[in-house]
A and B are shown apart, each in its own frame.
Chain A
């Protein structure tokens, strides 16, 4: 029998499921191979050399061997553990939200190094400030962009006229912004304020560091959050499960009178 083929890849761990015999089924997103699912043999035993290297939100240099049905993790070297992010409940819940989206948008055998880099960059910025929600908005917007689903922000998607600086409407279904004249039958159609359009255009043009410094009032923040997470969830084809824990933490942090 030929020896198993081995390969190395830089990965970020997204999640794992415990299997029999202290094994783990690990889902990771790799820089060069897209999403990969692989087995960590005996990884939950205290004596395992994989122990602690396979926690979600850890950047790992993986050595893998091709197995019969699934690849086997033979070695894992931690490159970045994001330990400050993981020492904070908001940091963990935001990081896991990103992980769920990368799992949903990333595909096996379909490398997307831009998506990989977006995840790393967003975790890095989140680690410096776990309270801000702007890194999540930047991530959602650019997740659409690197997935080829970038919403149109400059012309009406129906009649193609250039949009005036005005309130418009938005729908993930038709691919972005609509002028007030065009009225396609569309259940996803929603109003879009001029302020929100401006922030979307800014997210388009700026890097994550600048975008994350943006501050806004609650009503604009919640318009953007709702618009982007609805769009992401529309393309995902299902509800984003980790969103409910994020919202729970947000609600818990409000003063009693707002609950």
Chain B
């Protein structure tokens, strides 16, 4: 954001605009509009927003098992004895766990990569939670890995990388069925399609 846009504004207001401007998809104009909206909020609502930001930063941690975001590690899913410990479903981000859970068709565990390999954006294997995945796969009780990265070019590349670099020879590796349209994202796929894709998962 340029200095002229905020010159003349009170320093604390300018600072809020600047912080909001850092958020993805928020340009200088939207940042200004949001800042003025926040100023006009009743005190308790504005403090509730600030408190939610503070609390999420203080309380949210990565689950030591699945790397999902959680208030306590291991997360609810990983510490639930009724979940099937033999199957791990690998997804790109926490929203995909929510999408899969909504289908109620998967009773195993997850592993959240927090992204995909994206060479053009400088994101390689080391920027993802892959080391943690490979060490979970070393446990003999794990017999199947469902790779549920999005059916995009980068999602497929990530799936191929995982397949090439995991060390087990006796692991069943499956892929969500091709019912999922290419270029789609799990987040925007309806539950019926996702359930079908999961039930029809194929060995690769």
Contact = CB atoms under 8 A, between A and B. Distances in A.
Interface of A: 15, 18-20, 22, 43-46, 50-57, 86, 88-89, 92-93, 96-97, 99-100, 103, 241-242, 244-246, 248, 252
Nearest to A243: B119
B20 interface: no
Nearest to A97: B119
B184 A46 contact: yes
B181 A96 contact: no
Interface residues of B, number: 27
A252 B166 CA distance: 12
A99 B120 contact: yes
Contacts, number: 77
Contact of B153 (A46, A55, A248): A55
Interface string B110-128: 0000000101111011000
Contacts of B161: 89
B189 A86 contact: no
26 contacts: A18-B185, A22-B188, A43-B183, A45-B188, A51-B181, A51-B182, A51-B184, A52-B182, A52-B183, A53-B183, A55-B152, A55-B153, A56-B153, A86-B156, A89-B160, A89-B161, A93-B157, A96-B153, A100-B119, A103-B120, A242-B119, A242-B120, A242-B122, A244-B122, A244-B124, A248-B125
B73 interface: no
B164 interface: yes
Interface in B65-124: 117, 119-122, 124
A246 to B, nearest CB: 7
Nearest to B185: A44
